[in-house]
Amino acid sequence: MANKMNAVPSNWKTIVDAETISRSISRMSYEILEKDRRLNNLAIVGIRTGGEYLAERIRRKIKEIEGVEPQLGVIDITLYRDDLSNSDLQPTLKGTDLPFSISGARIVLVDDVLYTGRTIRAALDAIIDFGRPACVELAVLIDRGHRELPIRPDYVGKNLPTSKGQFLRLKLSEQGFPDGVYSIE
């Protein structure tokens, strides 16, 4: 029996469709391999929650291409965010799962949307707390510009200039929605 998909709210406008997401993941996976085909020290690390499912999809694609499955991890950056003091809410921790040694690894950090760069800064701080990787590369599905920090991705699915006030959301079938990047009106 097929999983039932949730309907996308009517005020969400599709700006990147499922096929574009799939092609972007394939292209980024090939680019990751082109940079260094040795997979013995490659680890794909998704940032919860946006990058978590994308990291798994990249890992599956690399396995499909090479027949070898890279390490997979997920990092929770909640306590590393620089905006926690601006909120009266208690942060919800979802946990970090890095079932391999970070030290000496080639880490490909994966997130859904790159905007100001603050999420990536927090993720880098979190990763360094677990060890010293050989290198950290950044893969993002959407780069929307408007950087506040000097962060630049190594692998980009789609450059999508937006206004500063525009809000984007990635939803995937793993979350019960049709794959898409949506602008919330």
Q: Which domains does the chain have, with CATH numbers?
A: 14-82+93-184 (3.40.50.2020)
Which residues are CB-neighbours of 23 under 8 A, at least 6 positions away?
none
> Given this model, what pLDDT does residue 34 score?
95
Nearest alpha carbon to residue 110 among 143, 146, 78:
143
> Given this model, what pLDDT does residue 84 score?
62
> Given this model, what pLDDT does residue 81 score?
74
> Given this model, what pLDDT does residue 115 score?
93
> Given this model, what pLDDT does residue 160 score?
94
Q: For residue 81, what are its two tokens?
A: 């965010």
Give yes or no for a contact between 50 and 170, defined as CB atoms under 8 angstroms apart. Answer: yes
> Given this model, what pLDDT does residue 38 score?
82
In eight-state DSSP terms, residue 165 is T
Q: How far apart are CA 104 and CA 108, in angstroms?
A: 13
Q: For the chain, 185 residues long, give each residue's pLDDT as a single digit of tens.
A: 456 788 888 999 999 999 999 999 999 999 999 998 888 899 999 999 889 999 999 999 999 999 999 999 999 999 887 666 566 566 677 799 999 999 999 999 999 999 999 999 999 999 999 999 999 999 999 999 999 999 999 999 999 998 888 989 999 999 999 999 999 97
Alpha carbon separation from 177 to 18, 24, 70, 84 (Å, rounded)? 11, 18, 27, 29
Q: For residue 58, what are its two tokens?
A: 């990249």
Strand, helix or coil for residue 50? helix
> Given this model, what pLDDT does residue 31 score?
98
Reading phi first (left if > 0) and then psi (alpha if -120 to 50, else beta), residue 176 is in: left
Which residues are CB-neighbours of 114 under 8 A, at least 6 positions away?
120, 138, 140, 142, 143, 144, 151, 153, 156
